Copies of this chain bind each other. A is one copy, B any other.
Amino acid sequence: MQIAEPIFWLVPVSSVLALFFAWLFFRGMMRASEGTERMKEIAEYVRRGAMSYLRQQYKIVLIAFVVLAIFFTILAYGFHVQNEWVPFAFLTGGAFSALAGYIGMRTATYASARTANAARNSLNQGLKVAFRSGAVMGLVVVGLGLLDISIWYVVLNHFMEGATASDKLIAITTTMLTFGMGASTQALFARVGGGIYTKAADVGADLVGKVEAGIPEDDPRNPATIADNVGDNVGDVAGMGADLYESYCGSILATAALGASAFAANETMQFKAVIAPMIIAAVGIILSIIGIFTVRTKENATMRQLLGSLNFGINLSAILIVVATFVILYALGLEGWLNISCSVVVGLLVGIVIGKSTEYYTSHSYKPTQRVSESAQMGHATVIISGTGLGMISTAIPVIAVVVGITFSYLFASGFNFSNFGMGLYGIGIAAVGMLSTLGITLATDAYGPIADNAGGNAEMSGLEPEVRKRTDSLDALGNTTAATGKGFAIGSAALTALALLASYIEEIKIGMIRLIENGSSITTLREGLSVDLEAVKNATIPTFMDWFAVNLMNYKVLVGVFIGAMLAFLFTGLTMNAVGRAAQKMVEEVRRQFHEIKGILEGKGTPDYVRCVQISTGAAQREMVFPSALAILVPIITGIVFGVAGVMGLLIGGLGAGFVLAVFMANAGGAWDNAKKYIEEGHFGGKGSDAHKASVTGDTVGDPFKDTSGPSLNILIKLMSMVSIVMAGLTVAFSVL
């Protein structure tokens, strides 16, 4: 009945539109030539390596999914502490995310040689091929995400029942929210595994190639160079895509659930509040496509002009979505549309501030990174100290942005009435949706980076003319800048999404309690002193739940949870750091072995065994990703079993607070070290080959796992903890030790 509202159909339509344009861009790219035989050969190596990695990874992911699906089935059908739809939804969420990763990465590996080849004609053509190939990833992620949401919405609307239309909508949205678990789990493996792979290869290649043998980056004589290029695809394309797929779906679903709860008193408004985030996302897709078409540059463009052309597309989409939001919510007739639109704008602004702050702290056009370069003159240790200091100081602005964003998105949506918890939290959710609404184009600029990087690698290894290499270098340099801001955006959106998920956690607790009572359990057994009936649960407000479970800061369980959450962020990061260290060591040994055993390899006469290096990275990444990933899933479950709802909420906020700050620190320190090295290579403080340069290479190498493995993995951790808790809410309500 509700679904009959025609505007809802804009959601599936625009998701199909996104997939259509993705296909169009893909076809256009495939029609371009891959260039010379040598270029094809190199591209084929990288493609095969990337695909073989993805196959391996998906095998392990499949095992994890089967185990978890069985576990969820037992909880749902055996103990009735979980929704019956969860196991299926979990699987589709994972499958769609995996498919998006597959398509995006396949596209990227086809695009690199074609970008290099197009760059032989002109810079503009190179940019167009690379960027439109990146757009395939962007559009596939938002298209598949919104498609998954649409399908489940229609299916559940058909099958689910409720005492009232309002109850039904609450049931649908809280059920849909649990779908995110599939996307989260797949993202976890993609980020952790991909992150370990890419940096094991990169660090390994650099340590022996650049430092010991003194050959340049991407030199075909280095056996690890193909693995390094593969790594860009599996880490920066597939990993980043899965990460943002999760944020995108998670923020929309959490906001829908918060909307269903906040507007429960008015059926019509409730439906509007539920579809509002989906409609904003749908319109965002259309605006992203428009933005993508505007990205072009003239020949001989400077770095600033290249960046300007990308920014023009992104800014255009962002400005249009602001206008569109006010129009959509007004036309939808959503109560408080003006205020809620302001919350959306707040979300967009937070994204922009975090992006700009990342640029300031990591670009060598600004003082902070230049000071890191300067400190390299004193040696290896001082470059590490100053980069660490910079990274830690750089957490201030993003946190202030998030704090101001939370405050104003809450206050706007609640009509500046603090006690209006429901509306305020809906405001925080929709701010996250606003930030991610133009993901189609922002992710395109992210995925563009590794494609340009690989194009440069291909040009180098194929020995193309210097002019072409100069063009691919321009494209690559642009990619480094967009990668840094993209990382800031990924972290910022992860934080807002995690907040939205945290806010909707109580909705799941409510549903879990209702299910338990309906199945004949008495809530009295849950926690000493808590005796409630069905009516009480249904009518309970958010502060009532807080009181029932004593989710306050004088409850030792909350304090304990906060400590565990903060610790988990560090432990998880330490484990991934060490994983990169161990994997890189294996790579170093292999490269040294090949330099030693394969004759004429350094003179360019012997052929390095690229495949062996790819296998080493693949194997190491698969082995190393299991323990940290298992920890990320198990700790929230165990905390819930031992410390109950209060402990879980403490864990989530502790993990989110510490994890977000730690992620920003690691991303910015890593980015600054990278660019501090480039600044020296541009001729400052002694330039290439100087002692300062050597020290800056140390900084860059340390920064690699900071910014590309551990930092990004934390994005997933903070969202996944919330997702696991949401899915496990029923179990936590039904049973906890303390």
Given A553-B551, A563-B399, A571-B393: A585 and B382 interface contact (C-beta under 8 Å): yes
Most buried by B among A207, A411, A527, A552: A552
Contact with B along A546-579 (1 / 0, CB 8 A): 1100111111101110111111011101110110
Q: Are B574 and A654 in contact (CB under 8 A)?
A: no
Give A684-725 interface residues, CB cut-off 8 Å to B.
695, 697-698, 701-702, 705
**Residue from B381, B543, B564 in contact with A550 in the complex, judged by beta carbons closer than 8 Å:** B543
Q: What residues of B have a CB within 8 angstroms of the CB of A564 in the complex?
A: 399, 403
Q: Is the CB of A653 within 8 A of B392?
A: no
Q: In chain B, what residue has the closest Cβ to A212?
A: B379
| Given A380-B698, A702-B381: A560 in contact with B657 (beta carbons within 8 A) | no
User: What B residues does A560 contact at CB under 8 A?
Assistant: 403, 406-407
> Once the chains bind, are A577 and B392 in contact (CB under 8 Å)?
yes
B381, A563: Cβ atoms closer than 8 Å: no
User: What's the nearest-Cβ distance from chain B to residue A71, in Å?
Assistant: 25
Evaluate contact between B580 and A385: CB separation under 8 angstroms. Answer: yes
A378 contacts B207, C-beta separation under 8 Å: yes
Question: Which of A410, A543, A551, A567 lies at the interface centre, i.e. has the most chain B CB atoms within 10 A of its CB?
Answer: A567
Q: Is the CB of B379 within 8 A of A207?
A: yes
Inter-subunit contact A585/B375 (CB<8 Å): yes
Output the least CB separation between A705 and chain B (Å).
Answer: 6
User: What separation, in Å, do the CA atoms of A677 and B554 have in the docked complex?
Assistant: 44
* Contact of A357 with B by CB under 8 A: no
Bound-complex Cα distance A506 to B552 (A): 12
Q: Name the residue on B nearest A571 (C-beta).
A: B396
Copies of this chain, count: 2
Give chain A interface residues in 581-627, CB to chain B under 8 Å. Answer: 581, 584-585, 588
Contact partner, A738, options B207, B418, B550, B658, Cβ 8 Å: B418
* Interface pick from A147-155, A268-276, A421-429: A421-429
Q: Is residue A203 within 8 Å, beta carbon to beta carbon, of the partner chain?
A: yes
When distances are taken between beta carbons in the complex, the residues of chain B under 8 Å from A581 are 375, 382, 385-386, 389
**Which chain B residue lies CB-closest to A388?**
B577
Within 8 A of B (CB), among A656-691: 656-658, 660-662, 665
Give A291 Cβ to nearest chain B Cβ, in Å: 31
Q: Which has the most chain B C-beta neighbours within 10 Å: A380, A402, A585?
A: A380
Of B378, B419, B502, B698, which contacts A585 at CB under 8 A?
B378
Question: CA of A395 to CA of B575 in the docked complex: distance in angstroms?
Answer: 12
Within 8 A of B (CB), among A381-440: 381-382, 384-386, 388-396, 399-400, 402-403, 406-407, 410-411, 417-419, 421, 424-425, 428
Structural contact, A382 and B657, CB atoms closer than 8 A: no
How far, in angstroms, from A578 to B368 measured CA to CA in the complex? 11
Q: Is A650 positioned at the interface, with any CB of B under 8 Å from its CB?
A: yes
Q: Is A494's CB within 8 Å of the partner chain B? A: no
- Asked if B389 contacts A574 (CB within 8 A), the reply is yes
Nearest CB of chain B from residue A670's CB, rounded to whole Å: 11
State whether the Cβ of A78 lies closer than 8 Å to any Cβ in chain B: no
**Which chain B residue shows the least CB distance to A503?**
B554
CA distance A562 to B499 in the complex (A): 12
Q: Tell which of A502, A546, A581, A588 has the most Cβ of chain B within 10 Å.
A: A581
- 8 A Cβ contacts from A493-540 to B: 499, 502-503, 506, 527-529
Minimum CB–CB distance from A335 to chain B (whole Å) comes to 21
A661 near B207: Cβ-Cβ < 8 Å: no
Interface centre among A385, A553, A567, by most chain B C-beta atoms within 10 angstroms, is A553
When distances are taken between beta carbons in the complex, the residues of chain B under 8 Å from A556 are: 406-407, 410, 424-425, 428
Q: Which residues of the other chain, B, contact A661 by a CB distance below 8 angstroms?
A: 563, 566-567, 569-570, 658
CA distance A701 to B142 in the complex (A): 47
Known: A543-B550, A560-B406. A380 touches B382 (CB 8 A): no
User: Given A543-B552, A552-B543, do A203 and B381 touch, yes or no (CB 8 Å)?
Assistant: yes
Q: Does A7 contact B (CB under 8 A)?
A: no
| A542 adjacent to chain B (CB < 8 Å) | yes
Contact A506–B554 (Cβ < 8 Å) = yes
A171 CB to closest chain B CB, in angstroms? Answer: 21
* A555 proximity list for chain B (CB < 8 A): 421
Nearest B residue to A554 by beta-carbon distance?
B542
Assembly CA distance A176 to B565 (angstroms): 33
CB distance from A535 to the nearest CB of B (A): 22
A89–chain B nearest beta-carbon distance, Å: 25
5 contacting pairs across A/B (C-beta < 8 A): A203-B381, A390-B574, A393-B571, A395-B574, A406-B559
Residues of A within 8 A of B (CB): 203, 207, 211, 375, 378-382, 384-386, 388-396, 399-400, 402-403, 406-407, 410-411, 417-419, 421, 424-425, 428, 499, 502-503, 506, 527-529, 542-543, 545-547, 550-556, 558-560, 562-567, 569-571, 573-575, 577-578, 580-581, 584-585, 588, 649-650, 652-654, 656-658, 660-662, 665, 695, 697-698, 701-702, 705, 738
Beyond A403-B563, A542-B554, list 7 extra A-B contacts (CB 8 Å): A207-B381, A375-B581, A381-B697, A384-B702, A506-B554, A551-B552, A654-B657
Q: List the 3 closest pairs (A to B, CB-CB), nearest first.
A: A392-B574, A381-B701, A389-B578
